[in-house]
Structure 1
Amino acid sequence: MTDTDNVSRRRFLQATGGAASAVALAGCTGGDDSDTETTTTDSGGDSKERNLKITWRPLDTLDPVASTDSASGWVIQQVNDTLANYKNGAVEIESRLATDWSIEDNTKYTFTLAKDAKFHNGKKVTAQDVVYSFERLAASDSSRRASFILNDLGVKHETKTVTKDGEEVEEYKPNSLAVNAEDEHTVSIELSEPFHASLPMLAYTSFSVIPEGIIGDVGDYEGEMSQKKFAKQPVGAGPFKFDQWQQDTKAVVKRFDDYHGKVPEVAGVHWQLISDDTARYTYQMNKNADMFNIPTSKFDPNKVSVEKTDDMGRKHGTYGPVRNGDTVNFGRVGGISNHYVGFNCEKVDKKVRQAFAYALNQETVSNNIFKGRSKPAQHFTPPAIFPGGASGYDEHAKKYPYDSSKAQLQKAKELMKEAGYGKDKKLDITLTTYDANVYIEISKLLRDKLASAYMNISVEPVKFPTLVNRGRNGKLEVYTLGWLMDYPAPDNFLKLLYPPKTDTSKKGMASYVNWSGTEAAKKATEAWDKIQANTKPTEEAQKARNEAYLTMEEANWEDAVMIPLDHPYEDRMSYDWIDVPMFGGAGRSRQMLNTAKFTGKRN
């Protein structure tokens, strides 16, 4: 091995630290103040006797391989450990279960595990637990992220031919992953090809390590728990252990005193799960939450006072006075995420989709509906990770064919006429939206504008799990959703636009758009294949990927498959008595809370 063949953890961090900073710079909850589930004395400033209280959204599942939503992800992040992690929700990688690692030929990764790491059931963490956890990610029927380990990361594995719906398809062959326990505390992972974002990918919560055999859904394990029970009562090796989850009400975790890293300074974390904006805001204003984000419907941009911008581009200052008379701490981060309007191409004609695009005014969405809490979008890929960064994003956005600064209803009407619609023949169509005020407002805005373009749009707000289940079953026509980075690369976003993985009739789809059969779909497919053929962390491969990224964005513009809405900023408010570091571009749901501490009494 030469120096170019073997990269140590220290050298990797040195090599990527500057890039991580650049990404961050450029850059998806009881009713009183007492907790009965843990000791939460509110006297003095003793953090260890008090729960950190946060308002949050309802959860879907706490099984790391089954989760696809950031709401569940924040709780999963506290209960579980991955090999590495995003430091404070930024994109810089730091150690978790792995104390050290080496990289050979950019394809073999060898990790040394913390020898004192334990699971919450008392069992020591071993390399075999990693093997089991990664096998679940690849093979469990519960896994919704198998593509992360098999395709994106590209861990070596074997496949088998099976017949489904009369077609022969290749599937993962169980127990064939090249993830090996070298000894009790050393695990190796071999990739088929070098992948430019391997370590950031391994920091995603789907790669959480859980006790070997605790669920009997892979291999010959009988399992101590069913998958359904584990999804509601998880066991991990993180700084907090699971306490309780009451559906759509609250989730609570407690300090794990035997944690191998920094033991939390708070007794636990209590997320109050509230969908309704008014109820959530009331909870915050009654000082039942220590840390929160004021709902956009209750947010007043004139109350923001920015005192400084740090070297990661994050805004720090105050917000207020709020309804209860206090002025609270304020932080704003440019997140690596998006909001979009998606279409089932099998059910919605291309001209109709383009009419939506012409009717949409992204600047109105960002400035009026989101009240300046987002950047108008012309691309699916966020600015922080776009080829050339934010400046590259803005330069390429000049080619956006629909004009994000104004609604062009006349062009929308002309397209609808070409599609066969008019005053006497209007299109009836359902827009299914995530049940949040801002999404509902956007949907109603589109409904009202497109009424003049011969559309009768029914807006149907539903909860996140319902929307996703309908999407997976191909039952959506038009819908609103968002995407928060799983790892900081355009691949992670644009894979949702890889046509073969948008077929809702097949297992493992990346999105719900059923995009195929057009020239633009062909271009997008060829571009994605080019991305997959150039996965190495080299300048030459990066150049090829960048060209393909732009091709996919333009193909999406042509067929109007997913219309970009905006790239949201993430705000955080907190009262003076709590001290939590500000998170980075990966978002609040990637931040560990074991460094949170109380500095005074709630008042």
Structure 2
Amino acid sequence: MTDTDNLTRRRFLQATGGAASAVALAGCTGGGDDDNGNGDGNGDGNNSGGNKLQLINSTMTTLDPVKAADTASGTVIQQVFDSLMNYPNSEIAVEKQLAKGHEVSDDQKTYTFHLKEGVKFHNDKEVTAKDIVYSWRRLAESKNSRRQYFILSSIGVKHETTTKTYKDDEGEHELTVAKANSLALKAKDDYTLEMTLEKPFHATLEMLAYTSFAAIPEGIVGDIDGYDGEMKQSKFATKNPIGAGPFKFDHWKSDVSAEVTKFEDYHGDVPKVDGVHWKISSNSEEMYTYGVMNQNADMGYGSNFIPTSKYDPGKVSDTSTDDLGRTVGKYGPIQGNTFDYLGVSTINTYYMGFNTEAVPKPVRQAIAYAANQETIVEEVFKGRGAPAYHLTPPMIYPGGAKKYESHAKNKYPYSYDESDRDKAKQIMEDAGYNENNKFKFTFTVYKSSSTWPKLGKRLRAQLQAAHIEMEIQRTPFSTLLQQGRQGKLEAYSLGWVMDWPKPDNFLGLLYPPLTDTSKDSPQSYTNWSGTPAAKKATNAWDTIQNNTGPTDKEQTAREEAYIKMEEANWEDVTFLNMYHGLSERFSYEWVDAPKYGGADYSRQMYNKVKLSERK
């Protein structure tokens, strides 16, 4: 990842109660039936009932695939748009979707995709290779795109670049985009697409499954050269998104509701439900009342459905583990109801980040000694997760979860599975700190989280004996990101969920040259440079970037470099990894929904969900 103009548009996560949740950014204005939804008195836009799936969602930002960067928007986009490839039921073994096959050249640089014939967009236009070229050009060229780096630097499609100037609340910035028509994409005929890369990339197909690469009708938005557009981008993004997915857009009323309906001409499995309706809110207590206490949702996810304050791990029962390591069982009773329970270890990591210029290394090391990730998971998050020692989650760690655990247990330098306050105190005293000379700093957490402040208070109590005073400051999520980019944070809480299921997607956050907050849009806010460990991390990342291909030799080189980056981070404690969130689903007995996998619920399509009579 070399294009870092879009930091805030990456998949940073908030942890509002212990499980992964959507990034709550400012919602866009959408279209509804009328100002009050359907006139049913609650204003949520719910005019469905019957055979429509009732769900809950957080605040959405856009339904334009190239602009969306939050989980809430992505959940709906997944239903409306299709891509060449897909993660079926969010499992990370990628499969074909709009593509029916592909070939790769001997040098692993040129991909030729063959599209399914007769696939229809929701406006009845057939999907062709020209639509794919146009859609990917928007991803690479449009000022509305928030994921240029996906196609320009991650996959690395051949291209020429140019810069565009844009303004936001923080001032004027330059955005690196592809020069018009310079992408090495060619529609060889209606159903054949050719794509050429600068160099081989080992996760090409996995990346193409991301919704940013979704197909939209050619020319529908005029935000790239050569197209006037059938509608403005704002209308496409909020009132009339057109894709080729299993559901058609119906309406979206910002911070109220959204709804999609069955697309009868879908090329895959036609939905078993008539549509999907989402009640929208970012208030977890409100969602609990709406979905659980009042039974207005058929199923829900994690703390957006049952907040950690209401969660009782003792109510999980009758559990078994399937062949993908997912926990299947029951949860309840609540209000006399028992839910079908699904627990999935998804690909995410939550961490405490440090500005290394503001918080000295001995202090960071002392905090690492004081922290006990196992206790934090059990007592703060009530077991809704797993302790984190690496930035790379266990599911995609080199060699898998067993190697993850073995490396952490044998190599982690800060008292694995315990809090060592004596060692923390000794390090601080060796650095010249004492009762009369304490180090003081501020740990900034996002305001909507109920659990990070608890984690901070627990840690603060443990640090007092080590001559460290930590103030906890709560701020809106967007403000936290803004302050981080400006280098104003001393320590902060953030999380990361996969864009694609490979370690490089996570470890790019640690690449020292892209942590410099004096530069425009740093990738993280650590200002990590000038130390032997920072040099090790830089060299390791260069090795990763010089071995991007799919060969066994290159994979071995990458995997060795991944581990070197993890150990370099341990050495300087730029990120103190805290936990990997557990994704949970709670569904009523009348819902028959396929289990989802490590890519999390936001990547799951609902066309295979079945509903029986509600009780």
Counterpart amino acid of residue 266 in structure 1? V
Contact 1:435–1:463 at 8 Å: present in 2 too? yes
Q: Which whole-Å CA distance do the structure 2 matches of 1:134 and 1:169 have between them?
A: 17
Instruction: Quote how far apart the aligned CAs of 1:99 are.
Output: 2.1
Structural RMSD (CA):
3.0
Spell out the pairing of 1:57-206 with structure 2 (5 A cutoff).
57-105=58-106, 106-159=108-161, 172-206=178-212
Distance 1:69 1:93, change over 3 A: same
Spell out the pairing of 1:569-588 with structure 2 (5 A cutoff).
569-588=582-601
Q: Which whole-Å CA distance do the structure 2 matches of 1:211 and 1:340 have between them?
A: 40
Secondary structure of 1:298's partner? Answer: coil
1:535 aligns with 2:548: yes
Distance 1:467 1:206, change over 3 A: farther
1:328 to 315, 339, 363: 339
1:499 aligns with 2:512: yes
Contact 1:127–1:183 at 8 Å: present in 2 too? yes
- Identity across matched positions, percent: 51
Distance 1:403 1:270, change over 3 A: farther
Q: Which whole-Å CA distance do the structure 1 matches of 2:60 and 2:469 have between them?
A: 33
* 5+ long unaligned stretches in structure 2: 1-19, 23-36
Contact 1:240–1:268 at 8 Å: present in 2 too? yes
2:417 to 393, 396, 405: 405
1:287 maps to which residue? 295
Question: Normalising by the residue count of structure 2, what TM-score does the alignment of the two structures yield?
Answer: 0.84
Spell out the pairing of 1:13-32 with structure 2 (5 A cutoff).
28=20
Counterpart amino acid of residue 345 in structure 1? T
Instruction: Quote how far apart the aligned CAs of 1:221 are.
Output: 2.6
Spell out the pairing of 1:430-509 with structure 2 (5 A cutoff).
430-433=443-446, 435-507=448-520, 509=522
Distance 1:259 1:503, change over 3 A: farther
Cα deviation, 1:309-351, whole Å, max 9, x if unaligned, reads 22212121111112x1111111111212111112233443333
Contact 2:141–2:177 at 8 Å: present in 1 too? no
Q: Which whole-Å CA distance do the structure 1 matches of 2:159 and 2:515 have between them?
A: 23
Instruction: Quote how far apart the aligned CAs of 1:390 are.
Output: 1.1
2:33 maps to which residue? none
Contact 2:359–2:441 at 8 Å: present in 1 too? no
Q: Which whole-Å CA distance do the structure 2 matches of 1:561 and 1:32 have between them?
A: 52
1:249 to 245, 252, 256: 256
Query: Which one is further off, 354-363 or 481-490?
Result: 354-363
Cα deviation, 1:505-557, whole Å, max 9, x if unaligned, reads 54564333332232212111110110111122222111111110010001111
Cα deviation, 1:443-477, whole Å, max 9, x if unaligned, reads 33233433444444443334444433443444433
Cα deviation, 1:454-504, whole Å, max 9, x if unaligned, reads 444443334444433443444433221221111111111111111223334
Instruction: Quote how far apart the aligned CAs of 1:162 are.
Output: 10
Q: Which whole-Å CA distance do the structure 2 matches of 1:99 and 1:321 have between them?
A: 46
Instruction: Quote how far apart the aligned CAs of 1:172 are.
Output: 4.3
Cα deviation, 1:339-389, whole Å, max 9, x if unaligned, reads 111223344333333333222210111111121221111100011111111
Distance 1:529 1:321, change over 3 A: same
Secondary structure of 1:327's partner? Answer: strand
Number of residue pairs matched by the alignment: 565
2:360 to 333, 349, 356: 349
Instruction: Quote how far apart the aligned CAs of 1:425 are.
Output: 5.2
1:223 aligns with 2:229: yes
Instruction: Quote how far apart the aligned CAs of 1:568 are.
Output: 1.9
Distance 1:582 1:302, change over 3 A: same
Q: Which whole-Å CA distance do the structure 2 matches of 1:118 and 1:506 have between them?
A: 45
Q: Which whole-Å CA distance do the structure 2 matches of 1:63 and 1:161 have between them?
A: 22
Question: Normalising by the residue count of structure 1, what TM-score does the alignment of the two structures yield?
Answer: 0.86
Contact 2:44–2:256 at 8 Å: present in 1 too? no
Counterpart amino acid of residue 217 in structure 2? P
Q: Which whole-Å CA distance do the structure 2 matches of 1:203 and 1:246 have between them?
A: 28
* 5+ long unaligned stretches in structure 1: 1-27, 43-49
2:273 to 266, 269, 284: 266
Contact 1:306–1:315 at 8 Å: present in 2 too? no
Contact 2:351–2:493 at 8 Å: present in 1 too? yes
Contact 1:213–1:224 at 8 Å: present in 2 too? yes
1:340 aligns with 2:371: no
Q: Which whole-Å CA distance do the structure 2 matches of 1:469 and 1:143 have between them?
A: 19
Distance 1:503 1:594, change over 3 A: farther
Contact 2:308–2:381 at 8 Å: present in 1 too? yes
Q: Which whole-Å CA distance do the structure 2 matches of 1:142 and 1:413 have between them?
A: 50
Contact 2:346–2:599 at 8 Å: present in 1 too? yes
Instruction: Quote how far apart the aligned CAs of 1:273 are.
Output: 2.9
